Amino acid sequence: MITRATGYLRGKSFRKDGVAGLVLGIESVPDGLASGLLAGVNPVSGLYAYLFGMAGAAMFTGSSFMAVQATGAMALIVSDTDLASRPDPDRALYTLAMLTGVIMLLAGLLKGGRLLRFVPTAVMTGFVTAVGVNIVLGQLANFTGGVGFGDNRLSRALDLLLNFRRFDLPTLIVGLLTLGLILWLTRTRLRSFGLVVAVAAGSCAAWLLNELAGFAVPVVADIAEVPSSLPLPVLPSLDDVAFLLLPALSLAFVGLIQGAAVSAGVPNTDGKPVDASRDFIGQGVGNLVAGLFRGMPVGGSMSASGLYASAGARTRFGLIIGAIVMALVILFASGPVSMVAMPSLAALLIVVGYETIKPAQIRSIAGTGAFQTSVMAVTFVLTLIVPLQFAVIIGVGVGTILFVAEQSNRLRVRQIHFEPDGRRRESAPGATVGANEVIVLQPYGSLFFASAPVLEAQLPKVDEHTGNAAVILRLRGIDHIGLSHVEVLTRYAGELAAARSSLEVIVTNDRVLAHLRIGGLVAVIGDDHVHRGTEWLGDTVRSVQAAAAQRVRDESGA
């Protein structure tokens, strides 16, 4: 009975995976061509990337539903890489995919998935939003048949829109027809198949305009020859590695982040967390296979993965079926593929670009405060006006700098007061250290180098009224202290000593104590003024405070 039930479930799962793979494979044909178009390379390279990237990664990713294909963000980075300047641009493209794969594979083997938590969400939101805008702007020429002039996509798009007389009317008609059909058909029972039907209908309209009316609506065959066979392997160009290293790093970064979003947005059916490092390995293998078989760089695609899961997939086997479907289309339907209209592909990409923009996420980031909003805005603007491989690196750098600045400003020093009934309370420290006074201070926050000036500014000042006093610095809960902070405390201890007062420190962490010794503070205040905290909360600080208070009373003669 159990065997029969298991066989039924496996058969049902196989059928569902087969249907999902068929849907994904058919829909990936126009998508693959569109990605190649977006990257400014031979559209067939996008087709090969979808086929071999998906097949290569299918069995290695941690996520069962991750479809590894060329994404819009990665295609734009490829477009900005200036492959045309290389002696063999096509081979440089394949080398870029393989180099990206090597970086992703190394990141996975070194367990780099743990580093994803350090990537600011605001950076990726600004980047992805600008990518969506860039995709739309970058397709206006193919959508309208006109040409814009300028140094970047933004300026070229503005120039084209301001000079709309350059539009080619038949091309624009095909683009608008396809766009309208996509918006309508994807809301019917066809859903994702509506994309394929819309592109096919637009391409048929282009053929009618060209054949019957003598117009020249561009098609894929006008810019590339679609082969009717699968490609032979190609070796990378080692001479191009140095030139391609920065864009490969940017591609790997974007692909890995988008892959993490896929794992979070399309979880496995067993509900277990996905190993991000294994996803890195899968995407790395996908890029190596895609580059080896003449494809462009690939990464985890949220749209394709969502389509695959929503089509009823149960396991990763359907991804292999999807790749087989694509291979069959290339082998037996290269003629129809070559007649796909360019404005139809542009319309498809415009929809993809528009759906990339997530207003809810933008509002969420903006609602967290000026810091996150600034990071998002800076990354967005940079992505619009500079090549994407530089925008990614600069955006992460700006986010890191602003994060350090924000964390340094979060350091707070509080003064602990001991009440007669045994309770303790905290308050802001006084402005100065008085005469015959015992002050217990507790810092909260990260004591890394940038916050040293903040710590120094919050310590009570030593002035002419200070004398016979003790300041106790309690470092419980602090597991790291920068040498810049040790220098601040060493100066502070010297100022107190000059005023016949002392600094004492309570430490619970061995590494913190080691840094205090290395920085010279222990040598200045003496080992007898360094106290070790215990597992009993409050015991050490009470005893140190009581001893200091008794010493102050004795020396003051009170």
**pLDDT averages per 10-residue partition of the chain, 558 residues:** 44 77 84 87 92 95 90 88 93 97 92 69 80 85 91 86 93 96 89 83 95 92 84 94 93 83 72 80 96 95 78 86 93 90 88 83 87 83 78 70 66 90 90 95 82 89 94 90 90 95 94 93 94 89 93 83
Structural domain spans, the chain: 2-404, 412-556
Do 140 and 148 form a contact (C-beta atoms < 8 A)? yes
Instruction: Work out whether the CA dihedral 81, 86, 91, 92 comes out positive or negative.
Output: negative
pLDDT at site 7: 47
Assess contact for 314 and 131: CB atoms under 8 A: no
Return the residue matching tokens 């690196």. Answer: 393
Residue type, 351: V
Q: Which two tokens stand for residue 458?
A: 């919050």
pLDDT at 23: 78
The enclosing H or E element of 470 equals: strand 470-474
The predicted structure's pLDDT at residue 432: 95
Contact at 8 Å (CB) between 111 and 255? no
What are the tokens at 69? 């294909």
User: In angstroms, rounded to a whole number, what is the distance separating the alpha carbons of residues 240 and 454?
Assistant: 47
3-state secondary structure (DSSP) of residue 360: helix
Backbone phi and psi for residue 266, each to the nearest 5 degrees, phi listed first: -130, 75
Q: Which of 155, 159, 131 is nearest to 144 (CA)?
A: 159
Amino acid letter at 176?
Answer: L
Tell me if residue 525 falls in helix, strand or coil.
helix
Determine the pLDDT at residue 405.
Answer: 65
Angle at 357 (CA atoms; ends 353, 359), nearest 5 degrees: 155
Instruction: For residues 351 and 348, give the distance between their C-alpha atoms in angstroms, rounded to a whole number.
Output: 5
Angle at 17 between CA 13 and CA 18, to 5 degrees: 115
Largest pairwise CA distance in the chain: 111
Helix (H) or strand (E) holding 521: helix 521-525
Task: Enumerate the β-bridge partners of residue 472.
Answer: 440, 504
Strand pairing report for 530-532 and 502-507: parallel
Which residues are registered as beta bridge partners of 439?
Answer: 471
What the block records as the tokens of 492 is 């502070």
Q: Report whether 383 contacts 391 (CB < 8 A).
A: yes
391: which residues sit within 8 A by CB, 6+ positions away? Answer: 127, 130, 379, 382, 383
CA distance linking residue 39 with residue 42, whole number of Å = 8
Contact 56, 274 (CB under 8 A): no
For 425, counting Cβ atoms within 10 Å of its Cβ (0-12 exposed, 13-18 middle, 19+ buried), the class is: exposed
In angstroms, the CA 95 to CA 297 distance is 9
Residue type, 435: A
Is the CATH number of domain 412-556 3.30.750.24?
A: yes
The span from the CA of 101 to the CA of 286, in Å, is 7
* Predicted model pTM: 0.69
Quick one: pLDDT at residue 117? 61
Query: Which DSSP symbol is given to 164?
Result: G
Q: Where are the beta strands (DSSP E) in 278-378?
A: 299-301
